[in-house]
Amino acid sequence: MRERLREAFGERVSFSPSVLLAHGRDEGYPEVRPVDAVVFAESAADVEQLIRLANELGFAVIPFGAGTSIEGHLIPVQRPTVSLDLSRMNRILEVRPEDFLAVVEPGVTREELNRRLRPQGLFFPVDPGANATLGGMAATNASGTTTVRYGGMRTNMLALEAVMASGERVRFGRPVRKTSAGYDLKDLLIGSEGTLGVITRLYLKLHPLPAHVHTLRIFFRTVQDAADAATALMGAGLPVARLELLDENALVAVNRYVNKDYPERPALFVEFHSSTPEALEAESAMARELLSEFAPLAVDAARGEAERREQWEARHQAYWALVHLFPNRKYAITDTAVPLSRLPEMVGHAQALMKELGLVGSILGHVGDGNFHTIVAVAEADYEKAEAYVERLVERALLLDGTISGEHGVGLRKRKYLAAEHGPAVDWMRRLKEVFDPKGILNPGKILP
């Protein structure tokens, strides 16, 4: 295999131990397993060539973007496995402002795209926090802080191009806002975690930059009060663009990590996007009045664009802040989502369960969607206790008619829960996998056991 890869890709293939190790890990899975080779694709033709070699020689292929996934998507489960690094496919191919459309390669990051779009008064709204590649975000159906208003990747992708397990390159969808022509195979590939095809081009829906923005920070006595207030805000019909919960541990960590002095109590970070300054003023006043019913300890507004950006950067740094607060630990990171009406119950359960098991960590997340994250920091010897916490959290989410993953995906960690959520539908997923990838070469072992 090594000689054939060298022959095909020359300097674009690496067998360096450090490179192999870096491509066999992600941000949240506890195990690291080096891959057998890394191919740095520079074009869709490179992807096609690698997939055809995989068919011929029988090795597995794991697509790799920025390595920011959490649930073990990048960990090899069979030998040999080649990591297909798409980070060099990083061209913004086209921006059509009149159509609110951008066409990009999978290695473009969301921050790169938004820097290009900003002078034209446009932005791509999906914001998972990490500066992930757009191909990786599509593969996991990423969402994030702005999903409550703009939707996640599936909502904001009009079409995509992918190389299938046969080596054939296919475009799914059309660059239009609506279509009812044929089966929607595009949406099937979004969120498939590289198990059905390798995305090589994305057609993205753009939005005008909001002209009038107002950002609040509201601090509460308990995380339950914050969750209750979030549910009430969503029921008020206000133009909420971001609605994030951070518990007291998250604020302690953030203050130390980014040198802030936020009150170290459970908080909601809220942002409104409005069409006029008059509407924004009225909506902000309505929000403050509504929030007063939950007896907040403090309500503060960002003063200007710089402070607003600092607030959201602090939210995005919450994970690294917690890692810094609890160094030399293992971190069990997971997310669940429940119907909005069950959110306060689920958040309260997550906090109580953490205390019951004697764990330390944090609860934070996109509560406007009923979705939140838990991060538990444990000594390596206690990692099983953290896994037990995740399992019980998942069980409660399913009991409340929720899901095992709102946005992180399934990967390796959560595949054992898939049948509990989907029942007989998992058999249909298996059949689809067999049709799309009959030899099982595309990221095998992920999603489906």
CATH code of residue 405: 3.30.70.2740
Do 350 and 259 share a structural domain?
A: no
Query: Residue 84: beta bridge partners?
Result: 39, 63
Q: Can you tell me the distance from the alpha carbon of 441 to that of 81, in angstroms, rounded to the nearest whole number?
A: 9
- Domain membership of residue 246 as a residue range: 212-319
Q: Is residue 430 part of a domain?
A: no
Q: Can you tell me the distance from the alpha carbon of 65 to that of 101, in angstroms, rounded to the nearest whole number?
A: 22
Contacts of 318 (CB under 8 A, 6+ apart): 246, 250, 253, 254, 362, 364
Q: Is residue 431 part of a domain?
A: no
Contacts of 55 (CB under 8 A, 6+ apart): 165, 166, 167, 439, 441
Do 341 and 416 share a structural domain?
A: yes
Among candidate residues 85, 115, 143, the one where a domain is terminated:
85
Residue ranges of the alpha helices (H) in 132-239? 134-139, 147-150, 185-189, 223-235
Q: Is residue 385 part of a domain?
A: yes
Among candidate residues 208, 227, 247, the one where a domain is terminated:
208
Do 353 and 256 share a structural domain?
A: no
Q: What is the DSSP letter of 433?
A: H
Are 372 and 245 within 8 A, CB to CB?
Answer: yes
Contacts of 200 (CB under 8 A, 6+ apart): 44, 47, 86, 89, 105, 106, 135, 161, 162, 163, 169
Are 123 and 114 within 8 A, CB to CB?
Answer: yes
Residues of the chain with pLDDT under 50: none
Among candidate residues 319, 336, 356, the one where a domain is terminated:
319
Q: Is residue 76 part of a domain?
A: yes
Are 350 and 338 within 8 A, CB to CB?
Answer: no
Contacts of 235 (CB under 8 A, 6+ apart): none
Please name which of 362, 417, 367 lies closest in space to residue 394, comparing C-alpha atoms.
417
Structural domain total, the chain: 4
Do 192 and 99 share a structural domain?
A: yes
pLDDT digits (tens, 9 = 90+) for 303-322: 888 999 999 999 999 988 99
Query: Residue 82: beta bridge partners?
Result: 37, 61
CATH of the domain at 58: 3.30.43.10
Question: Which pTM does this prediction carry?
Answer: 0.93
Q: Is residue 364 part of a domain?
A: yes
Query: So what's the pLDDT on residue 36?
Result: 98
Do 217 and 204 share a structural domain?
A: no
Do 135 and 36 share a structural domain?
A: no
CATH of the domain at 158: 3.30.465.10
Q: Is residue 449 part of a domain?
A: no
Query: So what's the pLDDT on residue 424?
Result: 96
